[in-house]
Amino acid sequence: MRQLCVIGSGYVGLVTGTCFADLGNKVTLVDIDERKIEMLQAGRMPIYEPGLAETVLRNTEAGRMRFTTAYEEGLHEAEFVFICVGTPSGVDGEADLQYVRAAAQTIAKTMRRALIVINKSTVPVGTGDWTTEIISSNQPQPVDFAVVSCPEFLREGSALADFMHPDRTVLGSTNRAAAETVAELYAPLDAPIVITDIRTAEMIKYASNAFLATRISFINEISIICERLGADVTEVARGMGIDKRIGPHFLQAGVGFGGSCFPKDVKALANMAQTHGMHPQLLNAVMEINAFQRRQITLKAREMLGGSVSGKTVAILGLAFKENTDDIRESPALTVARSLLNQGATVKAYDPVAMGNASRDVTGITLCDSPYGAAEASDALLVLTPWNEFKHLDMKRVLKSMRRPILIDGRNMYSPEELRAIGFEYRGVGRGYNGAGASDNGGGDSPAH
C-alpha cells in the first residue's frame, strides 16, 4: 500500500484517486472547493461518470479513500502527490495555468517530507520545468522532490475502464529514478509504460488529442462533400476503417467534437506553435471545420423549416457533449441551441443526466422530463447526443406527437429508409444517398476554409 495525495476532484482527479484506491493504495483527495468535498464526504458525486459512485463508496468504506480541503492533511504521509487541476483556455487559446501554479505553490509551502510530484493536468510543453522552479522557490526550507509528467488519457463516460485498462502509461521526468518509481505505481495495470523526458511526455498528450480531433474533423469534412455528391459517409467511413492503416476509430461523422479536452487542447497546441513563430495550418483547419459542422445543423433546420426558424418550436435530444456524461463543456448541442434561440426559435430539450448543468449554463431552453415530452408539438426534432435510450424510442409515437415530421439526425443513429418509410422528413450528416435516390443536401452552403 502506497500513500497518495490527489489535488483536484474533477474528472481526472476523482477518477485517478478512486482507481488507485481500488488498487489497494491509501488516497487522500484534496480540493479547495468546500462544496465538492462536503458532497464527497456525504457519498454524493460532484460529476456523473458510470460506476464512479459505487467505486468511491466501496473505497471510502474500506478506509482507503478520504476527502479534505486541507493540504496539510493530504500531504502528511504522502509519498506521491498528483496535480489534477483544471487548465482552461485563456483569451488566445493558451492554457490557463493559474490553478497549477496555486497547487504547486501550496505543495511547496506544505510538504515536510520527500515527494514525487506528478502532473496529470494537461499543460503546455515546458510546464514540468516551470513547476520544478515554483516548488523550489516557494519551499520554506529545502525538501527533496522530483516532478514527473504523467498525462491522462481518460474518456468521459468510460473513465474507470480507461484507467484500469490503459493502452499505455506515459511518464516523463528529468529524474529517471523518480519516473521508474511512478512506473511501479502503475505496474498493476499491466500496460506498456513509455518513459521519456518531461517535455516529450507533455507533447505526447497534446499530439494524441490533436490527432484524434483531426480524424473527427476529417470525416466531418468528408461528410459535407458526401452530401453534395450523393454519397453516404457512414459507408465511406466503414470502407475506410477496414483498412488496417486507417482503422475505424474516430471516423463517425456528426456535429463535431466538444468536451473539456479536444477543443481546449487543439487551441493550446496551436497557440504554442504560434507563440514560437510557426503557422499551425492543420490545427487551425481542424478548429474551423469543427465550428462549421455545428453551424450545419442550424442551416439544415432553417432550410427544412422554410428558410427560417423564427417562431418555430425545435426539440433537441441530448445536451451533454457526448453520451454517458453530464459534461456540457463545449457541447455542440448547446452551441446549436444558442443559435436557434438567437434566431427566434422556441427550444425544448431533454438529456438523461445533463439538464441540471445545462439549466445553469443556458437560459431560454424549456427542459422536458422525457424525449417524448420534448418532441410533442415540435416543428423539428434534432438528435445531438447519441444516448442509447434515443436508439430505442418509439419513433411512431414521436412522429404522431410532432407538429411537423422533421428529424435531423446529428449522430446518424437511425436508418434513413425506416424513418422516411413511417413519414419523417429525415436528414442525417453526410448521408447523401439512402438507396432510393433521396438527397440529404444540407441547403447548399459550403464551408469557407
- Sheet with 365-367, strands from edge to edge, namely 365-367, 346-350, 313-317, 380-383, 406-409, 425-427
**Cell numbers describing residue 430:** 453526410
> What angle separates helix 198-229 from helix 233-241, to the nearest 10 degrees?
130
Instruction: For residues 436 and 428, give the distance between their C-alpha atoms in angstroms, rounded to a whole number.
Output: 15
Residue recorded with cell 515554483 = 134
**195: helix, strand or coil:** strand
Distance of CA 121 to the CA centre of its chain: 14
| C-beta of residue 17 within 8 angstroms of C-beta of residue 4 | yes
**β-bridge mates for residue 169, sequence order:** 193
Point out the catalytic residue in the list 150, 226, 261, 368: 261
Instruction: For residues 308 and 390, give the distance between their C-alpha atoms in angstroms, rounded to a whole number.
Output: 27
Instruction: For residues 205 and 221, give the distance between their C-alpha atoms in angstroms, rounded to a whole number.
Output: 24
Other beta carbons within 10 angstroms of residue 449's beta carbon come to 9
> What angle separates helix 281-304 from helix 262-275, to the nearest 10 degrees?
140
Q: Is 226 a catalytic residue?
A: no
Sorted by sequence, the CB contacts under 8 Å of residue 304 that are 6+ apart come out as 380, 406, 408, 425, 427
Residue recorded with cell 501554479 = 101
Instruction: For residues 69 and 76, give the distance between their C-alpha atoms in angstroms, rounded to a whole number.
Output: 13
Alpha-carbon separation of residue 168 from 83, 195, 208, 213, 301 (angstroms): 20, 11, 12, 19, 42
Q: Where are the beta strands (DSSP E) in 322-384?
A: 346-350, 365-367, 380-383
**143: helix, strand or coil:** coil
The length of the chain is 449
Q: Which residues are catalytic?
A: 261
